[in-house]
């Protein structure tokens, strides 16, 4: 990933608002519309895919600095799990895992495709 798009995505993740307890995946503020949560999870899916490629090439795990907002917390959780789970064996599985985990942690109702 190039530096500028990465910085923009990190800024978007950090600006996604809400605070969670330290070790628990809780729901995000109900004021955030589901469409916005789904768009956020699509961006997180991209990080999951990049984590899969990094793991596949033996690169070290990348983390975002956590500031109490859900964006970095969710992204870091998904990245850690992709590195830990050997059954995530394809880009498609990594994307599906990232999207499903994000939607679950955000409390999003999946929209029909």
User: How does pLDDT run across 67-85, given as a tens digit for each residue?
Assistant: 888 889 999 999 999 999 9
Residue 17 has pLDDT above 70, yes or no: no
Identify the pLDDT of residue 9.
Answer: 45
Residue 19 has pLDDT above 60, yes or no: no
Cβ atoms 62, 79 nearer than 8 A: yes
Could you give the 3-state DSSP secondary structure of residue 57? Answer: coil
Among candidates 58, 74, 55, which has minimal Cα distance to 16? Answer: 74
Among candidates 112, 110, 87, which has minimal Cα distance to 41? Answer: 110
Q: What is the mean pLDDT of the chain?
A: 77
When pLDDT is cut at 50, 70 and 90, the band that residue 30 belongs to is low
State the pTM of this model: 0.67
Q: What share of the chain is helix, strand, coil (3-state, %, to 5)?
A: 60, 0, 40
Identify the pLDDT of residue 99.
Answer: 92
Cβ atoms 100, 69 nearer than 8 A: no
Give me 72's structure tokens.
């970095």
More confident: 50 or 29 = 50
* CA distances, 29 to each of 25, 37, 46, 80 (Å): 13, 10, 23, 24
Identify the pLDDT of residue 16.
Answer: 44
Identify the pLDDT of residue 62.
Answer: 92
């Amino acid at each position: 990933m190039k530096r500028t798009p990465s910085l923009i995505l990190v800024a978007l993740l950090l600006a996604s608002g809400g605070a969670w307890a330290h070790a628990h995946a809780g729901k995000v503020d109900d004021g955030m519309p589901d469409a916005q949560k789904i768009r956020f999870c699509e961006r997180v899916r991209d990080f999951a895919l990049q984590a899969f490629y990094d793991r596949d090439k033996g690169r070290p795990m990348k983390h975002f600095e956590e500031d109490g907002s859900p964006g970095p917390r969710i992204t870091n959780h998904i990245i850690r799990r992709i590195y830990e789970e050997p059954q995530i064996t394809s880009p498609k599985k990594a994307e599906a895992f990232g999207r499903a985990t994000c939607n679950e942690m955000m409390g999003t109702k999946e929209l029909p495709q």
